[in-house]
């Protein structure tokens, strides 16, 4: 076999002239966070080019497989006090989470972060299964970019993109609509332009599926005397899409009322188990040596010395915060953050590939249970943070 | 093809993001009996007119309904009570609008005004607002009364707000 098989080709990063009017286009389409803190977040000065085989064999298929492997752990986790303790889920939420899984309460989407450059199997860095963002950039604005660059003759008409996100999101809303108690609200904290943009886009997808909803700032949600959550007209909220981590809701003042409030959450409570970095050692324990998994373990002592070739991550870290990398050469890289008090895991170091000084991480989306497309964020360092740039891609 | 056949936005981009105007430290409201009085208090005349017109339009719907003039007059001045006919041809009585409320929201240094519905003057000289309940006793001082978010929200039994979002949580 080895003699006849061609050397696997590397993914390409290709420089391209940005559309001169891209900022105006972004603003026309409600993309108000294209620039963050003065630095470009949307970056179309380059794009990544994949072959169809790379996408289908190395990203789409493993994404589906990893998604199902992960779900296959759910039964055991929610019934195990030991595992729920290891995942640092507060005990008062255990039954509520287990019930939500038993009922298979509907979920909308998730994003898994994959490391891949075309030369070896994609490796799973982590799951963002509760509050994934960058969906608007991936689903909508990336699509518009390709369409316009084709119309202007800059990119070939035959170029494609792995991006069925919007179609599948609209479908997903249509299919869960019947199960959602009304009124149905979308929610995010009121001061994050990025989160508000993400929520506005998802709400738009819901409208296109014929699902009516409203927006309420998370801080405005009220509590009734019976322990139900209320909107600004004091009506009890039936369903709430919240772009806010479940584990933060748990420790917020109102968290204690969640199990009794009969509030349908999206993402549902059972996602608290999957958005937790503790799922990575559990996956490795159950499927050791899986080609798309990196060795990972719970770290009993978070202050112990980290040997070279390992990465330490807090269970609840977001946006690459508080990650500690011990490079194989003994050098240490730390990222700042506020997740200093929570338990940690250790994952084998597997560097992001480097293209012209950029380190891309592939966000592979799952809508419902279907692989739906990718969005690439790149940074100038090994740790992808919320300051990274979103760079579009094509299938050549 | 491995991408959506089309993408579209039906709301986003056409309208600005709507963020519920409800910061309890920055909200107040005031009652006026005329557009002139409102404008004299420094509110833009167009905002006064809009608040007045909207309140008037809402007043026949939102006013408390009574079966008889006597019932209406027991709580409101009988000279303001008017007879109305509903869709089924039945008669009912409602008090006339005595004034209107205007809400003021100051966010990030920008002041905006919102119509906040009609008010009806009761015989005991307290005021009734269909939107906010009978809580608005008129002091006659004419100042901007600071209001808490649950009060602004209405007269339901919401006992508190703000118990979520303590962490500036972001997506990932």
Task: Output the average pLDDT for chain B.
Answer: 74
What residue has token string 């349908």? A264
Residue B108 contacts A where some CB pair is shorter than 8 Å: no
**Mind giving me the DSSP string for B90-157?**
-EEEEEPP-EEEEEEEEETTEEEEEEEEEEEEBTTSEEEETTTEEEEE--S----EE--HHHHH-SS-
Residues of chain A with pLDDT under 70: 1-7, 339, 384-386
Report pLDDT for A147.
92
Report pLDDT for A86.
95
Residue B138, pLDDT > 50, answer no
Strand partners, A348: A310
Report pLDDT for A124.
98
Task: Please name the residues in contact with B167: beta carbons below 8 A apart, sequence gap of 6 or more.
Answer: A244, A245, A248, A251, A252
What residue has token string 């497309």? A373
Is A136:A198 a contact under the CB 8 Å cutoff?
A: yes
Q: How far is B1 from chain A (nearest CA, A)?
A: 7
Q: Which residue of A has its CA nearest to B158?
A: A224
Is A49:A19 a contact under the CB 8 Å cutoff?
A: no
Interchain CB distance below 8 Å, A224 and B158: yes
Report pLDDT for A160.
95
Interchain CB distance below 8 Å, B4 and A164: yes
Q: Where are the domains of chain A?
A: 12-276+353-395, 295-348
Task: Please name the residues in contact with A173: beta carbons below 8 A apart, sequence gap of 6 or more.
Answer: A108, A205, A206, A208, A209, A211
- CA A85 – CA A80 distance, rounded (Å): 8
Mutate to test the interface with B, among A222, A236, A371 (most CBs of B within 10 A): A222
Report pLDDT for B107.
66
- List the single residue in A30, A160, A192 with the smallest CB-CB distance to B2: A160
pLDDT band at B152 (very low <50, low <70, confident <90, very high): very low
| Percent of chain B whose pLDDT exceeds 70 | 70
DSSP one-letter code for A352: P
For A340-373, letters b (16+ CB in 10 Å) and e give: eeebbbbbebeebbebeebbbbbbbbbbbebbbb
Q: Which long-range contacts (CB under 8 A, 24 or more apart) does A357-361 make?
A: A358/A13, A358/A46, A358/A391, A359/A384, A360/A13, A360/A48, A360/A391, A361/A113, A361/A114, A361/A115, A361/A125, A361/A388
Widest CA span in chain B: 73
Residue B81, pLDDT > 70, answer yes
Contacts of A150 in chain B (CB under 8 A): none
Lowest mean pLDDT among B70-79, B110-119, B130-139: B130-139
- List the single residue in A162, A204, A222 with the smallest CB-CB distance to B160: A222
Contacts of B3 in chain A (CB under 8 A): 143, 146, 160-164, 373
Report pLDDT for A246.
96
Q: What residues 153-172 of chain B have any CB closer than 8 A to a CB of chain A?
A: 153-172
Contacts of B169 in chain A (CB under 8 A): 131, 189, 244-245, 248, 318
Tell me the average pLDDT across B62-83: 85
Interchain CB distance below 8 Å, A200 and B11: yes
Q: Where are the domains of chain B?
A: 27-153
Report pLDDT for B133.
64
Interchain CB distance below 8 Å, A248 and B149: no
pLDDT band at B171 (very low <50, low <70, confident <90, very high): low
- Is B24 buried (19+), middle (13-18) or exposed (0-12) by CB count in 10 A? middle
Distances (CA, A) of A264 to A145, A175, A180, A260: 36, 15, 7, 11
Report pLDDT for A144.
93
A267 upstream amide cis, omega within 30 of 0? yes
Mutate to test the interface with B, among A148, A220, A266, A365 (most CBs of B within 10 A): A220
Which of A279, A275, A223, A283 shows the shortest CA–CA distance to A253? Answer: A223
Model pTM score = 0.75
Contacts of A133 in chain B (CB under 8 A): 170-172
Is A119:A8 a contact under the CB 8 Å cutoff?
A: yes
Residue B61, pLDDT > 70, answer yes
A231-254 pLDDT, tens digit each: 988 889 999 999 999 999 999 999
The SS3 assignment for A236 reads strand
Report pLDDT for A283.
98
pLDDT band at B21 (very low <50, low <70, confident <90, very high): very low
Which of A15, A23, A54, A147 shows the shortest CA–CA distance to A364? Answer: A54
Contacts of A252 in chain B (CB under 8 A): 163-167
Report pLDDT for B128.
80
- List the single residue in A131, A160, A207 with the smallest CB-CB distance to B1: A160
CB-side neighbour CA atoms (13 Å) of A135:
36
Interchain CB distance below 8 Å, B159 and A225: yes
pLDDT band at B132 (very low <50, low <70, confident <90, very high): low
CA A283 remoteness from chain centre: 18
Report pLDDT for B19.
33
A83-132 pLDDT, tens digit each: 999 999 999 999 999 999 999 999 999 999 999 999 999 999 999 999 99
pLDDT band at B89 (very low <50, low <70, confident <90, very high): confident
> Which value does ipTM take for this structure?
0.88
The answer for A245, left when phi > 0, alpha when psi is -120 to 50, beta otherwise, is beta
pLDDT band at B153 (very low <50, low <70, confident <90, very high): very low
């Amino acid at each position: 076999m080895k003699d006849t098989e061609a050397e696997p080709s590397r993914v390409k990063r290709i420089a391209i002239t940005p559309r001169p009017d891209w900022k105006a286009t972004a603003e026309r389409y409600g993309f108000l966070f294209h620039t963050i803190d003065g630095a470009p977040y949307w970056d179309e000065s380059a794009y990544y080019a994949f072959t169809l085989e790379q996408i289908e064999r190395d990203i789409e298929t493993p994404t589906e497989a990893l998604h199902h492997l992960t779900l296959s752990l759910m039964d055991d986790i929610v019934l195990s006090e030991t595992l729920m303790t290891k995942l640092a889920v507060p005990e008062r939420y255990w039954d509520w989470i287990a019930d939500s899984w038993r009922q298979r309460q509907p979920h909308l989407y998730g994003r898994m972060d994959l490391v891949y450059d075309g030369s070896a199997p994609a490796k799973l860095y982590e799951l963002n299964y509760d509050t994934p963002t960058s969906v608007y950039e991936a689903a909508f604005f990336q699509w518009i970019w390709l369409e316009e660059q084709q119309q202007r003759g800059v990119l070939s008409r035959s170029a494609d993109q792995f991006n069925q996100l919007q179609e599948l999101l609209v479908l997903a809303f249509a299919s869960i609509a019947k199960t959602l108690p009304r009124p149905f609200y979308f929610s995010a904290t009121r001061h994050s332009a990025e989160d508000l943009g993400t929520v506005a886009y998802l709400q738009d997808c819901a409208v296109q599926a014929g699902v009516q909803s409203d927006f309420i700032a998370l801080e405005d949600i009220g509590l009734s005397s019976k322990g139900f959550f209320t909107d600004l007209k004091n009506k009890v909220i039936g369903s709430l899409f919240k772009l806010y981590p479940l584990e933060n809701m748990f420790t917020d003042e109102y968290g204690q009322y969640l199990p009794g409030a009969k509030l349908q959450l999206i993402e549902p409570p059972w996602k608290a188990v999957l958005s937790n970095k503790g799922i990575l050692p559990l996956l490795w324990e159950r499927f050791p040596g899986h080609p798309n998994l990196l060795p990972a373990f719970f770290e009993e002592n978070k202050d112990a010395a980290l040997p070279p070739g390992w990465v330490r991550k807090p269970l609840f870290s977001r946006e690459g915060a508080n990650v500690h990398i011990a490079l194989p050469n003994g050098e240490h890289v730390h990222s700042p953050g506020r997740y200093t008090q929570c338990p940690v895991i250790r994952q084998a170091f597997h560097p992001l590939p480097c293209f012209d000084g950029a380190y891309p991480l592939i966000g592979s989306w799952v809508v419902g249970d279907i692989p739906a497309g990718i969005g690439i964020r790149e940074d100038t360092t090994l740790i992808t943070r919320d300051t990274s740039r979103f760079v579009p891609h094509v299938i050549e | 093809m491995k991408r959506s056949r089309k993408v579209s936005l039906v709301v986003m981009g056409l309208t600005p993001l709507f963020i519920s105007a409800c910061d309890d430290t920055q909200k107040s409201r005031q009652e006026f009996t005329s557009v002139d009085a409102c404008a004299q208090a420094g509110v833009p005349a167009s905002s006064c007119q809009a608040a007045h017109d909207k309140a008037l339009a809402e007043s026949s719907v939102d006013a408390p309904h009574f079966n008889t003039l006597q019932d209406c007059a027991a709580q409101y001045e009988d000279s303001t009570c008017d007879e109305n006919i509903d869709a089924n041809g039945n008669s009912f009585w409602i008090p006339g609008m005595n004034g209107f409320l205007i809400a003021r929201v100051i966010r990030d240094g920008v002041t905006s005004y919102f119509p906040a519905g009609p008010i009806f003057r009761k015989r005991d000289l307290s005021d009734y607002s269909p939107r906010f309940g009978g809580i608005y006793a008129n002091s006659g001082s004419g100042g901007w009364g600071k209001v808490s978010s649950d009060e602004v929200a209405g007269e339901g039994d919401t006992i508190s707000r703000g118990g979520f979002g303590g962490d500036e949580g972001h997506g990932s």
